[in-house]
Every structure is written in structure tokens, then in C-alpha cells.
A and B are shown apart, each in its own frame.
Chain A
Amino acid sequence: MTNSSTQICVVIGASHAGVNFAFSLRKEGWEGSIILFDKQTAIPYHRPPLSKTYLTSGDDAKDKNVLKSHESYTKENITLQLGVSVKTIHREAKKITLSDGTLQQYDKLVIATGARPLIPDIKGINNAINIFTLRTIKDSEAIRNAIKKGGIKSALIIGGGYIGLEIAASLKKMDISVTVLERENRILDRVTTQNLSTFFKDLHTNNGVVIDTKKNVISIETHDNVNTVICDDGTRYNSDMIVLGVGIRVNTELAQEAGIAIENGIKVSAASQTSDKAIYAIGDCTYHHNPHYNRFVRLESVQNAIDQAKVAAASICGKMAIYDAIPWFWSDQYDVKLQIVGLFSNYNEVIVRKETGENKKLSIWYFNDKELLAVEAVNNAKAYVLGTKFIKGRKEINKTNLRDVSLTLSPSNLLLP
């Protein structure tokens, strides 16, 4: 790379994508300035624990949760500007306007603005008390503090996705009585198939969480510190606390107003470049092509944030870089660890494997004819790791052996010669 020492790379959003990008860019040899802006004031942190261990464990978990220490930014000469929000991108001038009105010049700009919780259009939602969303560390602390203050005995989670279910498990651990309301026929409807939905429904039910499906919330009435949530079938639920987990909205406005191409997110190339060659986008805010599955996707995962960050960093440093990752994801609820690899849509066959004698060890294998597309592994890291290898290598699986739980999970048992 030539002459990058006088160049400025500006990153909007300092979370999993933005922070990993900044460090990767240094590693790739960028000699110019790197400036990260985030409107939040907290030092960038891991988000997955916010609904899991961070929610239940308290302030002593704070240090554990930090993505990178202050010193590591200093060491790599990365400028972290917190509490500053970016208002406008001026593409012709290659400048951005900050919340205090000042302008910041850039040579390369990276948009890593992620997403925000979707606030559903429910009558009375603005007057409800102890109502929360969960995306930031402040949100997680607010939920925990409300419980610490006392007086909260029951919580309603609106939305049975991964985050909603993780919050349910955490609140249960904190001795709150929890009900999850899901609009569809089953929880996790958007992200998995019946098999895993049923597993998690049973898991939560056995742990004392009430899961009610086909419940479309239409209004909330609040009197005397109690919220009454009303569904379109007339059912009513009283609760001291409400947590909304109905999905996200991608933060694309900044890019859109600047005239950057948007399609279900900020549209990026295989190198994570937007329709403007000087501007890249990474993480939750992007809509991108996955070469392995040959389709466009928008993913909400740490894996995607980090892998796109690395690709963008390499590309900006003049290297050939193509985003070609097999998506992976995890979720921890109670004593259960779920690990997912691959994208299951387009499947036409599912093999469900329950290991004998071993509590809750389950794996769900998705195929399109001969091709293994995805594996969902419950307390079964071996299935996850094998699945990853097989999917990457497009290996053909011996399905008869896979169904036979008397045979252990191993390449020699599972691969066709």
C-alpha cells in the first residue's frame, strides 16, 4: 500500500463491527488515522451477554464485557470518540457532520451503524411503566436496576425470538415470574423450524416460563403501577414489567440520506463496499451476498460483524478480499447451549438426532437433497464443529448413519467414501 500515512479512515459506530474493523485495519498495515465515532458513551462492549450473563450478574461483570481495553486503542493509535453522533454524510466533499456541528474529513468511510429495537405500534405503549427494549448496555442495566429496586414480581416478554427467550431465562433466574407472548404459531418462527421451536418451548415450560403463542398484542392499559396487556383475541395479561423483543430496524437512514444504495439494509459488494467506492458498510446494517449459498442475506450476528470487518479492512488496504463465510451463531439459555452453523432455508429434508442417554443433546441437520445446508446443535459442540467442516467442504453425508444414534458423530461414520 502506498502513502496511507496521511489518510483518514472514519468509522461510524463502535460496536462488534466497527471496533473489529479498526483493529483489523491496523493489522492490515493502514498507517493513517483511524477515528471511531459512537453516540454511546460506554466503552464498546460485547452485546450477546446483555440478555444473558450480564443481565443476571451485575456490575462486577462490567470489565469482562468490554470488547477492547482503553489501552489497546491507545497502543494501536485508534481514536475512539464516544458520545458523538454522526448527523450527515457529504459524499462529494468526503466529510461528515458531527452532533456538535463540526465537520470531519475522511478518505475512507465505514458505516457500522447496526440496528435498533423495533418499537411495535401498540396502543398505550407510551404510557406503560417499566417497559424496556434490549440492545445496549444501558438497557440491560435499566432492566436489572428496576428489578433490584424491588416490587417487580412478574414480567411479560413480547416476542419469542432468541433475545426474548434469553431474557425470559435470565429473568426467571432472578426469580421473576415470566410469560412470553408470541404472535405466530410457534416461538422462533422467523429463525428456525418446528423441531427447535418445540425443544425451546419445552425447555422454557419445564423451567416455569409460560409461553403463549398466537398472541397478537394490540394495546396496553396501565393503572396503579400495573400494566395490562391486551391481545386481539381478547386475552389480558397483568404484569409489573414488559420487555419488547419483536425484532430490529436497521440503521440505514444516514446512508440513505446520502444517496447510498439501500436494499433491505445497506447494499454491499463482496468486499463490503457500498455503491460509493470510498464508503464501506459492515455488520448488522448490511445486505450482502453469501457466495456459499449464492443468495443475498441480512444477518444479525457477531460472526457476520467480525468477518465483514476483516474483509473491509483488507480491501481498504488494497488486498483482494471476498466475504465468503459460513454464518454461525449461538444462544445460551438456562443450562443449554445452542450453536448454529449455516443457513437452513431451501432445505427439503431434516434429520433430527437425539443422542442416547445424554441429557438434551440434540442436533438438527438440514439438507437440500445431497447438500448439507445447516446444523443446529443443542449442547452438542461436536455436531456443530462437524457440521461446520462438512458444510465448508460441501461434503456428502451418509444420512443412514447420521440417523443411527448407536454410531458416534465422527467424520469416518458420517462421510460417504
Chain B
Amino acid sequence: MAKITFITSDNKTTVLEGSSGSVMQLAVDNNINGIDGDCGGVCSCATCHVHVHPDHFEKTGMPSDIENDMLELDDHVNAYSRLCCQIEINEALDGLVLTVAK
């Protein structure tokens, strides 16, 4: 089990628990505002953009090349941007804090 915190653009904080699947699925299953997951998690839509808490970037790791390319021109991209469909949930993510990008 990993506890993951989502902070949405309306400054609402939601803590969810997951054990498998992607962070995007967890968010979509719980109606987290701003994470749509339109392409179903194949890195094609960029509707699952989050900012990882800077202290937690080691937990999630760096984005892949295609993820970087998808994000590069996004108006809200920063050094801690990830497409959360590309983050698989595992124990090591416990305590992760994510801010949903606008």
C-alpha cells in the first residue's frame, strides 16, 4: 500500500491509497479534478500532468524521453513535471505528494 496525496488547483487535498496500477488510474477512479487520463495511460494525451513535490522526485524518477517531449511546450511545465500515467504505484511511493497541473 502507498499513500499518495493530490493537491488540486482549487487547493483541495485528497489522500488516496493504492497498491497497483498507475497513479493516473488511482486519480481517475477517485475523480481527482484535473486528471482526466483521456488516452488511457499510453502517453498520448498529457491530461494527467502533475508536479511532483521537489523532495519526492527521487521516488518517482525522471520522465522518459517521450514524456519530456509531450510536456516540453506545456504552459505549466516545471522541473518536477510528470505524466502520472507513467508512474506505477508501489510501496516506495508511500508518502508521495503531487500537485495537479493546471
Contacts and interface: CB of A to CB of B under 8 A. Distances in A.
A337 B44 contact: yes
Interface stretch (B1-9, B48-56, B66-74, B94-102): B66-74
A382 B30 contact: no
B90 to A, nearest CB: 15
B29 A71 contact: yes
Contacts of B25: 63-64
Nearest to B31: A72
A332 interface: yes
A242 to B, nearest CB: 27
Nearest to B36: A306
Given A64-B21, A381-B66, A382-B69, A72 B44 contact: no
B4 to A, nearest CB: 16
Contacts of A72: 28-31
Contact of A332 (B22, B28, B42): B42
Nearest to B73: A385
B73 A389 contact: yes
Given A49-B40, A72-B30, A75-B31, A386 B21 contact: no
Interface in A290-332: 302-303, 306, 330, 332
B91 interface: no
Contacts of A71: 29-30
B41 A64 contact: yes
A346 B54 CA distance: 47
Nearest to A23: B31
B17 interface: no
Interface in A354-408: 380-382, 384-386, 389
B62 interface: no
Contacts of B39: 48, 302, 330
Contacts of B40: 46, 48-49, 64-65
B34 to A, nearest CB: 11
Chain A CB count within 10 A is highest, among B22, B25, B42, B43, for: B42
Chain B binding surface SS class: loop
A289 interface: no
A303 B38 contact: yes
Contacts, number: 60
A65 B28 CA distance: 12
Contact of A330 (B29, B36, B42, B73): B42
Contacts of A381: 43, 66, 69-70
Contacts of B45: 303
A353 interface: no
Contact of A337 (B28, B30, B36, B66): B66
Nearest to A380: B69
A133 interface: no
A66 B24 CA distance: 12
A69 interface: yes
Contacts of B36: 306
A341 to B, nearest CB: 11
A68 interface: yes
A56 interface: no
A48 B36 CA distance: 16
Contact of A339 (B31, B38, B44): B44
A204 B31 CA distance: 39
Interface in A184-206: none
B69 A385 contact: yes
A339 B28 CA distance: 23
A76 B44 contact: no
A68 B42 contact: no
A253 B72 CA distance: 45
A64 B20 CA distance: 10
Given A48-B40, A330-B39, A382 B29 contact: no
B14 to A, nearest CB: 12
Contacts of A380: 69
A382 B72 contact: yes
A65 B25 CA distance: 9
B26 to A, nearest CB: 10
Contacts of B31: 23, 72, 75-76
B29 A68 contact: yes
B17 to A, nearest CB: 13
11 contacts: A48-B39, A48-B42, A63-B25, A69-B29, A69-B30, A71-B30, A72-B28, A330-B42, A337-B66, A385-B70, A385-B72
Q: Top 7 A-B pairs ranked by shortest CB distance?
A: A381-B69, A46-B40, A69-B29, A330-B44, A382-B69, A381-B66, A381-B70
Given A69-B30, A303-B45, A380-B69, 4 more contacts: A302-B38, A337-B43, A339-B44, A385-B69
